Amino acid sequence: MGNHYRVVIGAVIILAILGGILYKGSQSTVFYFTPNEIGQAPERYLARTIRVGGLVVPNSTKWDPDAVTLWFTVTEDFNSGIRVRYAGPKPDMFREGQGVVAEGILDERGLLWASTLLVKHSEDYKVDPKQVTDKKMAYKSLLRE
């Protein structure tokens, strides 16, 4: 009987720890903040490195190849957004309307000075329309590139 109690107590302790991690995690573990969260209380996000995630607003992008600097606006709802200045090469997967996560420091004017730019991938997959029309084998077109 004593052995059974030990197993039960051990299981309860482990489950309690797991539950605690889950509870804590579900409250604080966000990989990025959204532009609206920051817009509500910008002063809370100043003077530290933060990640901001959202969609790139169409026609908001400006790429300066000489300065290797990319400007764009991220938004959640296309009403308000945060302007981002990213110093670095433009990622290949960067598109307007695409989800991105920018990491940097927010200044008092609400501009995010980003040093890292990650592109989110959506869960939706689509066939490349070019390949369907010309029916060429995928690897052949790749070798030519």
Partner 1 sequence: MVAILGWVSLAGLAALGVWIFAFTPSDDLMGFSQKIMYLHVPSVWVAYLAFFVVFFCSVGYLWKREVLFDRAARCSAEIGVVFCGLVLATGSIWGRPTWGTYWVWDARLTTTLLLFLVFVGYVVLRAFAEPGEKQARLAAVIGIVGFLDIPLIHVSVQWWRTLHQPSTLFKVGEQGRPAPSLPPEFLWPLLLGFVAMTLLYAFLLLYRLRVAALEDDLEQRLARQ
**132 lies in the site for partner 1, by CB under 8 A:** yes
Q: Which is nearer to partner 1, 20 or 25 (CB)?
A: 25
CB of 111 to partner 1, least distance (A): 21
**40 lies in the site for partner 1, by CB under 8 A:** no
Q: Which is nearer to partner 1, 48 or 126 (CB)?
A: 126
From the list 136, 66, 59, the residue with the least C-alpha distance to 95 is 59
Distance of CA 125 to the CA centre of its chain: 18
**18 lies in the site for partner 1, by CB under 8 A:** yes
Q: Which stretch binds partner 1 (CB under 8 A): 27-35, 55-63, 66-74, 76-84?
A: 27-35
Interaction pattern, residues 86-125, with partner 1; x per rule: CB under 8 A: -----xxx-x-----x--------------xxxxxxxxxx
The enclosing H or E element of 5 equals helix 2-28
CB of 125 to partner 1, least distance (A): 4
Amino acid (one-letter) located at 30: V
CA dihedral 97, 102, 106, 111 (to 10 degrees): -30
Q: Which is nearer to partner 1, 91 or 110 (CB)?
A: 91
Single out the residue of 5, 6, 97, 139 in contact with partner 1 (rule: CB under 8 A): 139
| CB neighbourhood size of 5 (10 A) | 9
**25 lies in the site for partner 1, by CB under 8 A:** yes
CB burial string 39-50: b at 16+ within 10 A, e below: beeeeebeeeeb
| CB neighbourhood size of 55 (10 A) | 19
DSSP label at 110? S
Single out the residue of 29, 40, 59, 79 in contact with partner 1 (rule: CB under 8 A): 29
